[in-house]
Structure 1
Amino acid sequence: MKQFRVDQSLCIQCAECVKDCVFGLIVMQDGYPVLPADKEATCIECQHCLAVCPSGAISILGLDPADSLPLAGRFPNQQQMETLIKGRRSIRRYRPEPLPAETIDELLKIAAHAPTGVNSRGVEFIVVEDPATMDAIRQETMETLQDLARKDAIPDHLVCFRHFVPLMEQGLDPIFRRAPHLLIASAAEGVPTREADVFIALSYFELLANSAGIGTTWLGLAKWAMVDLAPRLLRSVGVPENHDVVYMMLFGTPDVTYYRTVQRDQDAKIRRLVK
């Protein structure tokens, strides 16, 4: 049951919820919006009806509209977003101290609001919070790469890993960059737009983290190591076997400060369609 409720004492009968319903499920009856029982199964729980109601009269899924954040005047302006997008850097120098668990939890809960195809909300996060677990992942990855190098089993298109092995044996960390935290985002095979959903969720997480002064790095190297070279590493960190799309991100407090944006406007590739 979707628990669609209308507080008639607050409803101004504007029908905005009817107009904005993605699949046109909500209808007006006797002057008030209704979600017919025979249409409930089609509802994708997007909560547009709750969000679009100007008077806070609509409740769905048992949610109280009073618990939602008000939006008027609270979005960052374009200049602020420009600075955030242009100013974020891939951080490869981190302080060793882990972030508070409550900070990580808050970031992930907010990032879970990222859009997904047909509102499937199938992205799952696995987060490494403690330094001991990060050290164990580093060690297991190094030992796996050492074994593959001895067997000459590293393919030519991943030749960089052959060079990483001696660096890791010297105590360097060319893959995980001594970051205190690792975030693995995955989605099950049945999720309709799982690859896009994963990348969108991580993009939201990255911008949110950077707005809080937390650095991030998209970790393609670990994806190649864990997905392409040694899938068992994914199992060892808890990724379910039916999750076949995954990407990773390092994060933590940066040990470097950047003072200005880079200049890439000239790199924008724009093709305008003109009939």
Structure 2
Amino acid sequence: MLDFKIDQKKCTRCELCVNDCPVGIIRMGDDFPHIPEEKESACIGCQHCMAICPTAAVSILGKVPEDSQPVEGHLPDPDQLETLIKGRRSVRRYRDENLDPQLLQRLLDVAWHAPTGVNARQVRLTVIDDREVMQAIREETMEALGEVVDRDALPNNRLMFAAFVAAWRDKGVDILFRGAPHLLITSTPKKCPAPKEDGLIALSYFELFAQSLGVGTVWDGLAMWAYTELVPHLQSRLGIPEDHEIGYMMAFGPPAVTYPRTVQHSPALIARLQK
């Protein structure tokens, strides 16, 4: 049941909810908006109707507008947001300590608000939230990769992993995870409309919010290659369901380095269509 409700004392019958519904199932009745029972199954649960109502008259799915956060007057300054995006850095040096659990939970809660294809909202956020657990995963992964190297079973396009294993064995240097105390993995059921894209978008949201709070992040393509190509049996060790597709992986934690300024990239590659 959608539990679509209109507070008739607040509703001005402006029809914004009717016109903004992505699947067009809200109808304007004799007096107030409603959703015909036969149309309820088409709802994708986006809550646009509740978000757009200027008088907070719409409730749906058991959600009431009073529990939502106001947007007007609470958005970041555009110049600051621009600096955040331009100043984002891949952090490859971390302090050996856990993030505060409340801070980590806040990061995950915000990342969960990232958009998904057809509002499927089935991205699984698998997180290693303790540095001791991360150390165990690190050791198991490097041991498994070492076995692949010892069997001379690395594919030609992944021969660099032999150097990663040697650095770990000889010096205890962790190139794969960059010594980060935490790891975040997104995965989504393969049957979802956009399984890989959903995970990538969630990590993008996670990264920007994390860096705004002083948390370092790095897109971990090396770990991605390892777990999807070289030691895929370890996906079960990470708790990834068999019917899921991994979106991507991100190492993160308290950074051991700061970057006082942005970098300067070449001009954007822009193509404009002509009439």
Q: CA RMSD in A?
A: 0.9
Partner Cα separation in structure 1 for residue 256 and residue 25 of structure 2: 51
Counterpart contact for 2:198–2:247, Cα < 8 Å? no
Deviation at 1:228, TM superposition (A): 0.5
Q: Measured at CA, do residues 233 and 267 of structure 1 come closer, stay the same or move farther in structure 2, by a change above 3 Å?
A: farther
Partner Cα separation in structure 1 for residue 217 and residue 155 of structure 2: 28
Corresponding position of 1:173: 174
TM-score, normalised via structure 1 length? 0.98
Letter in structure 1 aligned against 2:188: A
Letter in structure 2 aligned against 1:59: S
Counterpart contact for 2:197–2:247, Cα < 8 Å? no
Deviation at 1:77, TM superposition (A): 2.8
State percent identity of aligned pairs: 51
Asked if residue 233 in structure 1 is aligned to residue 238 in structure 2, the reply is no
Counterpart contact for 2:196–2:245, Cα < 8 Å? no
Corresponding position of 1:108: 108
Asked if residue 162 in structure 1 is aligned to residue 166 in structure 2, the reply is no
Corresponding position of 2:264: 263
Asked if residue 215 in structure 1 is aligned to residue 216 in structure 2, the reply is yes
TM-superposition CA deviations, 1:90-127 (whole Å, max 9, x none) = 00011111012221111111111111110001211100
Partner Cα separation in structure 2 for residue 246 and residue 196 of structure 1: 7
Deviation at 1:42, TM superposition (A): 0.2
Counterpart contact for 1:125–1:183, Cα < 8 Å? yes
Structure 2 unaligned segments of length 5 or more: list them.
none
Corresponding position of 2:147: 147
Secondary structure of the corresponding residue to residue 216 of structure 1: strand
Letter in structure 2 aligned against 1:14: C
Counterpart contact for 1:223–1:246, Cα < 8 Å? no
Secondary structure of the corresponding residue to residue 184 of structure 2: strand
Partner Cα separation in structure 2 for residue 191 and residue 209 of structure 1: 27
Corresponding position of 1:193: 194
TM-superposition CA deviations, 1:38-87 (whole Å, max 9, x none) = 10000000000000000000000011101111111211132111101100
Deviation at 1:233, TM superposition (A): 1.1
Structure 1 unaligned segments of length 5 or more: list them.
none
TM-superposition CA deviations, 1:157-184 (whole Å, max 9, x none) = 0111011111011211111111111001
TM-score, normalised via structure 2 length? 0.98
Corresponding position of 1:247: 248
Partner Cα separation in structure 1 for residue 143 and residue 267 of structure 2: 40
Deviation at 1:267, TM superposition (A): 4.2
Deviation at 1:271, TM superposition (A): 0.7
Corresponding position of 2:55: 55
Deviation at 1:6, TM superposition (A): 0.4
Deviation at 1:31, TM superposition (A): 1.9
Secondary structure of the corresponding residue to residue 118 of structure 1: helix
Task: Number of aligned residue pairs: give it.
Answer: 274
Partner Cα separation in structure 1 for residue 29 and residue 179 of structure 2: 60
TM-superposition CA deviations, 1:187-230 (whole Å, max 9, x none) = 11111111111110100000010111111000000010111101
Counterpart contact for 1:214–1:254, Cα < 8 Å? yes
